[in-house]
Structure 1
Amino acid sequence: MDTRTRVNQALKQAMKDKAADRLATLRLINAAIKDREIAARADGEESSIGDEEILAILGKMTKQRKESARAYEEGGRLDLAERELGEIAVIEEFLPQQLSDEEAADAVKAAVAETGAESIRDMGKVMAALKAKYTGQMDFGKAGPMVKDQLCSKGDC
């Protein structure tokens, strides 16, 4: 079952259960997917987007909410931070299992070997390979420095 179908089924269930907070978050997910479809249509691309793009949208939504929750906590607005964390929990239900730090390090090593990367100039190739294979499973903000470290150990930086 694709991600969009899972989101729609969860949306219907949340309506039946009268789970207002969950329903609001699921509607936000649907709105983000539809916004991306509209943007794709405007660019002349195929109107429906695939699971990979939906996972990227969900990953972006999660990252935004983590940043917001941190800002709210620093500002002393724990009620708003708690709401953001609740939304993160709902969004993460639709994301694949995140790789552990060790698994991410192994994935980076494999991607460097697979692409034949030799220097820091090849970082883009390695990141593209990781994104193609691990979208939604890896935090690419953390993966970037790992790739850089891996490539710097091979040559000059």
Structure 2
Amino acid sequence: MSTFKIREISEIALLAAFIAVSGTFKLPSFIPGSEFQLSAPIAVAICGVFGIKKYLLAGILASAGGLLLGTQTIFNVLIAMLFRIVVALLYAVLGKTKIFYLLSGPVASSAARLALSLFIGKAVYPLLAAALPGMIFTALTSGLFASVLEKTLNMTKRVYERS
């Protein structure tokens, strides 16, 4: 196996772990019951920095790990995959732009909440209202997370090229 393939597989595995672990952190909100996961802005940043293929593969691995560990259900995975697909589609359309980082999290969260309302038979507006603080947080921080990931990626590339 080539060094490039080993590096790529390792990178995807680390991204999957990053998504899975960040999904366990819930950030409080000023609206009771509307805490949100740290994984949304990190997922958007990963898509923007590493591209659609690595992002979706890492997301699938993170969800598979959650299923195997019993921390997620099929229902959780379906909602998460819808979020990931919407982010990937927006990346395909908008590219690596500020608009992508601002819009993809809120749009993907809205799509996931709409699907959730269809599954559980509840009104979509309360679900969207509860997600609003998380959407704002994601819109404001995904670009910041992307710049940190970009710097980290560039640093590892320089180290790799030296060796």
TM-score band w.r.t. shorter chain: under 0.3
Higher alpha-carbon Rg? 1
State the TM-score, normalized to the length of structure 2: 0.26
State the TM-score, normalized to the length of structure 1: 0.27
Q: Which has the bigger relative contact order, CA under 8 A and spacing at least 6?
A: 2
